[in-house]
Structure 1
Amino acid sequence: MKNLDLQSEKVGERLKSIRNSLGLTVEEFYRPVMKSFNNGSSIENNKRRLGKRLAKDIIDYYRINPKFLATGEGEMLQKGRRRPVDSGPQTQSSEAVEAPVPYYNLRPGELQQRPPADIFADSTPEYYVNYRPLNDCTAYLPVYGNSMFPLFNSGEVIAVKEVVNPDIILWGEAYLVVTHEQANNMIAIRLLHEHHDPEKIILRASNPEYKGDIVIRRTAIKTLYLIKGKVTRYQL
């Protein structure tokens, strides 16, 4: 891979085409080489960089032609059979931990205007944060307002991780909740609490001055992001 540029915007697109040619889902393709296989979608959509170590692991595992990945020229795969997906446990790359996470300087109003399917779509990260304990996250976002004081202060930066299975919720933890029309496309950071009706969820501010809970139906939630941690701007 020497002298090959794997930071091109087209690399993710080419990875997706390779994956599709092999007839594999995102999970099937990335799980053997990444601890957080769902980050594969972010790489394919050019929202997360493909690190050198992860690139090497993917190329070696599937015997991908590095020139095709870098330039789109030549055959997708090298000659010889690729390693089968079900060949047993593999040594997972630490790249999933070491890959930096994009920071998006988006205000709540900007998030509100975005399609709930992917609130980070069509956004360009201002920079990438390489803080290993949170490198399995989806994105960093700034905190605005004081509804979640003292848990999160305005000006701090939160690290959010997309929830793969929204049926499994850590009650009492803070989430970024993305809803669709049924809940007026609301996007909010709130503590989630169990409702006596299993079809509903309670959203609660941590600031005691914000009285009153928000109750929504589970079906109104489009995407959930667990807030795994926070940093202050001077730490970035």
Structure 2
Amino acid sequence: MVSARVGKYIEAKGISFYAFENSLEASRGSISKAVKDGKSIGSNMLEKILLLYNDLNPTWLLTGEGDMLLDNGAWQNSSINTYRLKTDTSVESQQIPLYNLEAVAGLVPLFGDNKAFQPVDHIMIPHLPKCDGAVYITGDSMYPLLKSGDIVMYKEINDIANSIFWGEMYLLSVDMGGEEYITVKYVQKAEDNHYIKLVSENKHHQDKEVPLAQVKALALVKASIRINAMT
């Protein structure tokens, strides 16, 4: 039955029914109830599912024949880099929400309650470390490793003061006189334990020390995507 195959797909992707329903703008519990009770899912909703989740094989969904997932080469024109800790384990399949930072008004509200914000899209790349979300970056401080317009995928850090892996790359929000400064930098120890040193890949940018107390949001960068499109 189609609803049962939808349930299998959700399980295979490692996402919750809540996130799945939210991405489709469906009422809460509508999909989970259909899957649990073996009820039909409307054709309009199936069309939404296939449009949004373009790795899902429509033939398999509707008939059960063939493979669940399509090998559609969605990222064949992109460069994907991963930045792993030794303790990282890869996730076979996950759905990573992509957010527009301007729409969510910064990292602090996004990290505070990301369920309150609608992602602009979802990224599905197999065998990445666990990620909480993804955003487009601006600026050239990490060039040539990263450039403006690249996408970084991140894992949020809740205990900022005690959970920094020194020397790793972070997405962070710093309070600069009441203004939110969002950047991607290497984070290193400063001589003063109350400060951290922000280091750029681009040697034209000077290192900067900021008070740790001014860091309002922090996330480890786990992967990046650069779209290589010919214009």
TM bin (shorter chain): 0.5 to 0.7
Unaligned runs of 5+ in 1: 7-38, 51-65, 75-93
Return the offset for 1:181.
7.4
Alignment RMSD (CA, Å): 4.3
Name 2:135's counterpart in structure 1.
141
Q: Secondary structure at the match of 1:3?
A: helix
**Aligned to 1:191, which of 181, 186, 189?**
186
Identity %: 21
TM-aligned CA distance change 1:134 to 1:211, over 3 Å: same
TM-aligned CA distance change 1:112 to 1:126, over 3 Å: closer
**Aligned to 1:231, which of 217, 225, 229?**
225
Name 1:9's counterpart in structure 2.
none
TM-aligned CA distance change 1:70 to 1:222, over 3 Å: farther
Return the offset for 1:116.
6.5
Find the aligned partners of 1:68 and 1:150 in 2 and give their Cα distance: 44
AA in 2 matched with 1:210: H
Find the aligned partners of 1:95 and 1:148 in 2 and give their Cα distance: 25
Contact kept in structure 2, 1:116 and 1:222, CA below 8 Å: no
Return the offset for 1:197.
1.7
Find the aligned partners of 1:133 and 1:170 in 2 and give their Cα distance: 22
TM-score normalised over the length of structure 1: 0.54
| Greater strand content | 2
Q: Secondary structure at the match of 1:115?
A: helix
AA in 2 matched with 1:190: K
1:87-236 maps to which residues of 2 (within 5 A)? 97-107=92-102, 111-112=105-106, 115=109, 117-118=111-112, 120=114, 122-134=116-128, 136-166=130-160, 167-179=162-174, 184-217=179-212, 219-234=213-228
Find the aligned partners of 1:100 and 1:226 in 2 and give their Cα distance: 18
Higher RCO, 1 vs 2 (CA within 8 Å, ≥6 residues apart): 2
Unaligned runs of 5+ in 2: 8-13, 24-28, 38-88
TM-aligned CA distance change 1:143 to 1:3, over 3 Å: same
